[in-house]
Amino acid sequence: MKLKFSHVDVLVRDLETACDYYAKLFKARISKTLVWERGGLHVRYAIVMFGEERFMLVQPICGGLKDLLEASGEGTIYRHCYSTPDIEAAYDELLIAGVQPEDENGKPLARDNLNSPSGARIIWLPKRFGNFSIELLEENELDAFMASAFSDTP
């Protein structure tokens, strides 16, 4: 499976305060605020970019990430994200390896249901080690998502 590191996701209590901090500290570009809501998970998030580096700040509203924030605290890195040129091939390789891809809530994900609320096709590996998660995104869709997230931002 061909993978390229994309970013990490970091939990914060106040998205605007965190974005302002990194914009000032790193002179980072901050995406517009985005919302993810599906299956009981509801978050607000933004992408922080400086040079080629990026990470996502995630403010949970409700769901499992809200519980994780309360239990583990602000600044918790809970996910590593990778892009792949062919998400369906990655899905198939995971199945062959005996791993059932999941959705963001840990439920089995069917190959014909890879679309996310953001529009990109995404799969998650089951959490095997505590709360740590790995997300796989289709490369060309990730690039389009990033471009869209930064449209209309300074």
- 3-state secondary structure labels for all residues of 55-103: EEEEEEEECHHHHHHHHHCCCCEEEEEEEECCHHHHHHHHHHCCCCCEC
How deeply is 151 buried, as exposed, middle or buried, from its count of CB atoms within 10 A (0-12, 13-18, 19+)? exposed
**pLDDT tens, N- to C-terminus, the chain (154 residues):** 999 999 999 999 999 999 999 999 999 999 999 999 988 889 999 999 999 899 999 999 999 999 999 999 999 999 999 999 999 999 999 999 999 999 888 899 999 989 887 778 999 999 988 888 999 999 998 888 899 999 876 5
11, 55 in Cβ contact below 8 A? no
Buried b (16+ CB within 10 A) or exposed e, 83-113: bbeebeebbeebeeeeeebbbbeeeebeeee
pLDDT of residue 105: 84
Buried b (16+ CB within 10 A) or exposed e, 24-57: eeeebbbbeebebeeeebbbbbbbbbeeeebbbb
pLDDT of residue 154: 56
79, 7 in Cβ contact below 8 A? no
Distance of alpha carbon 128 from the chain centroid: 18
pLDDT of residue 131: 84
pLDDT of residue 153: 61
CATH superfamily membership of 4-149 = 2,3-Dihydroxybiphenyl 1,2-Dioxygenase, domain 1 (3.10.180.10)
